[in-house]
A and B are shown apart, each in its own frame.
Chain A
Amino acid sequence: MFGAARTVQKSGANLQFVRTKRIRAGLDPVAQRVVTQLSVISANRKMPKMLKLSKEDFVKHVTVMRAWGVVRKEKKQAEEAQLKQQYESIKEANEDLKHVSQKLFEAANKLEIGKRFPLELRVPTEYPSRSGWFYDYTPRKL
């Protein structure tokens, strides 16, 4: 792939390798392209520079990361607690419904295969466009 073996044709179909001078010009453009592609993929010489922190900086970093970890943990715990609360109340409501109306209970507990979030649902952005809202929009029938 990287360089055609130079051969010299002698007496008919016999091919013979001949020692010649090295070609200085480099690879042919097709092979050069592959070499460039490989060098882009390779992780060689792409190591980021290591941070050199002073003792004070290091202590600062550790403190900030710990504190941030605590914040994230609290947020996660709060979310889990809320989900648990939601689950408990769904359960309680279903238990009530079971005794009140069997028909409604069955309707509420139907397996929701094929349930979809609307296609218009977007992952929110920090800066939505100014003219992004179509007030007279009606969803298209798929």
Chain B
Amino acid sequence: MVFVQLRQFSNSSIAAGRPGYSLVKPVHHRVRIRKQLLSPRFPELKLPPTDVRSPKYRPFLVRQDRVKEHYHNTLKSDLLLINYQHDQKDVEGPKRRKWDMSSPYHINRPLQKPKGQIVPSPTIRARTWKNVPFFEGVSINCFVEEAKANPAAAIAAQLQIQQITNSKVYPIYAKTNVPTWKLRPGMLMGARTRLTGAPAHQFLSTLTELVLPRARDFRGIRNSAGDQYGNIAFGLSAETVRLFPEIEHNQDSWPNTYGFWLTLHTSAQLDYEARTLLSGLGLPFYGNEKVPLLLRQAQGL
């Protein structure tokens, strides 16, 4: 006969009619213990990355940043004035809505979609001296079509992006299955990277001073480009990419170049603010510009 003894944590609480275990959440094992800090070995690995003695230390602000200085000396105060609206109030973007609880099935149901859209929009905050829009960075996305047949093309594209931006590149893999294009998920298709801070400024000044003024097929960025929330994207053709100095001065090594998409990220809340900012950084725009939908809704136009 097997005797199974039930473990009981508290006899008195059972007697009192309560469950026999604690309902209080445990406090043990909630704090992650980093054992390397306890061990006396490898003292240099315990230093924070901001310490020069740490192997992770990277020197920062090692040279002048022209774009940053230009922004702070010239653009920032102008942008404050341009974007100023008297008695401005926050414009609430459409958010997810609560159910009216007319049905018992509404309990615990995920919130309803925002009216007229699928994803909620952020609230547009009133402009003050604290939130003047600034340039955050660039992300580069290079999808190479010929990499379907020749995966080496994707590697060459990765190298090209790395040479142009001087930053770590990450591979792009196909996500979808499109049999007519012979595209299958998991195929190596190109390269991507994201630049912020000084490298982004360096890239932007190369682009606006050396590349775009000489590009034949570049008229400017379309005024209709943008994701509504202050990020503006445009493309560079394979021919234009040849004008980057890293490639131009080493033509023999680059039999093929690959065009790519650039997204300029700004902290602007709406696209027209981002365009004003980017025009100050030397990027031309063309085409008709519309009043953004969020503002039209807010003003009841």
Chain A positions within 8 Å of B, measured between CB atoms, are 1, 30, 33-34, 37-38, 40-41, 43, 50-51, 53, 58, 61-62, 79-80, 82-84, 86-87, 90-91, 94-95, 98, 105, 108-109, 111-117, 119, 121-126, 142
Contacts and interface: CB of A to CB of B under 8 A. Distances in A.
Contacts of A122: 282
The interface size bin for chain B is 35 or more
Contacts of B52: 51, 53, 58, 61-62
A34 B150 CA distance: 11
B165 to A, nearest CB: 12
A127 to B, nearest CB: 12
Contacts, number: 105
A123 B276 contact: no
Main DSSP-derived SS at the B contact region: helix
A67 B62 CA distance: 16
B152 A83 contact: no
B257 to A, nearest CB: 14
B77 A86 contact: yes
A112 B81 CA distance: 10
A83 B80 contact: yes
A37 B291 contact: no
Contacts of A34: 152, 155
A8 to B, nearest CB: 27
A82 B52 CA distance: 34
A6 B81 CA distance: 71
